[in-house]
Amino acid sequence: MRLLIVEDDPLIADSLHQGLAPLGNTVEVFTSLKETRAALAHSQFDLVVLDLGLPDGSGLSLLAEIRERRDTTPIMILTARDGVAERVKGLDLGADDYLTKPFSLPELQARVRALLRRSQQRIDNHLRFGPLCFDPASGNATLFGEHLDLPPRELGLIEGLLLYAGRIAPREHLINRLFGFGEAGPNALEVYVSRLRKRLQGSGLRIRTLRGLGYRLEDDPE
């Protein structure tokens, strides 16, 4: 998963990073509203952990902006123990959950897992479609229960497709997931899609190209 942390206190940012990176996540940390707006304009994330007291304004205004553009990315706000009023305001503005500081790492991890499950309508921590399964925590993929020994970008593609299983995985989302902010060649994504297609041959699954939009993992009627 790609997680975005917005926190200006370096010690707290560090502990958030240490708590979330080992769960198999790519974690990016920003310390101001300005940086975060720029990152959100270029990239999609699976979850945002948002501190409210930031040097250039309140996280609540960023939260409001995100929801105003109908972006439903799960957002967990970080509040002070006695910050009942801002917690209520945050939840009313569209935050999905909150964590009070100081927090315990196991609680942070469990709440993040729960939010991701809920947002992706899953009942456990695995992503599945038909016989294909991906465990974001370990980065392992299986097909009919058999371990798939794949390079990281093919695993990233499986994860990206499974996050949208049965729906269109937007092209930009997949490019972001596989190549990050780095420049990817025009056909880089197609190369990985065609490799994965070969591996899925005979599995009853196929990756359909929706020109200009993205790709959809779906049942193969053949």
For Ca ion, the binding residues (CB under 5 A) are 8, 51, 53
* Most distant CA atoms of the chain, gap in Å: 59
10-25 burial code (b ≥16 CB/10 A, e <16): eebbebbbebbeebbb
- Our CB check for Ca ion shows the closer of 33 and 141 to be 33
- Our CB check for Ca ion shows the closer of 8 and 97 to be 8
Give me the least distance between CB of 66 and Ca ion, in Å please. 18
Give me the least distance between CB of 215 and Ca ion, in Å please. 39
- Our CB check for Ca ion shows the closer of 78 and 196 to be 78
Residue 28: what residue type? E
SS (H, E, C) 36-74: HHHHHHHCCCCEEEEECEECCEEHHHHHHHHHHCCCCCC
- Our CB check for Ca ion shows the closer of 53 and 170 to be 53
- Our CB check for Ca ion shows the closer of 12 and 148 to be 12
Give me the least distance between CB of 53 and Ca ion, in Å please. 4
User: Mapping DSSP to helix (H, G, I), strand (E, B) and coil, where does residue 7 land?
Assistant: coil
Q: Which residue is nearest to Ca ion (CB)?
A: 53
Give me the least distance between CB of 178 and Ca ion, in Å please. 32
Question: With the C-alpha atoms ordered 169, 139, 29, 80, is the resulting torsion angle positive or negative?
Answer: positive
Give me the least distance between CB of 20 and Ca ion, in Å please. 18
Q: How far is CA 141 from CA 96, 152, 162, 178, 188, in A?
A: 29, 11, 11, 16, 21
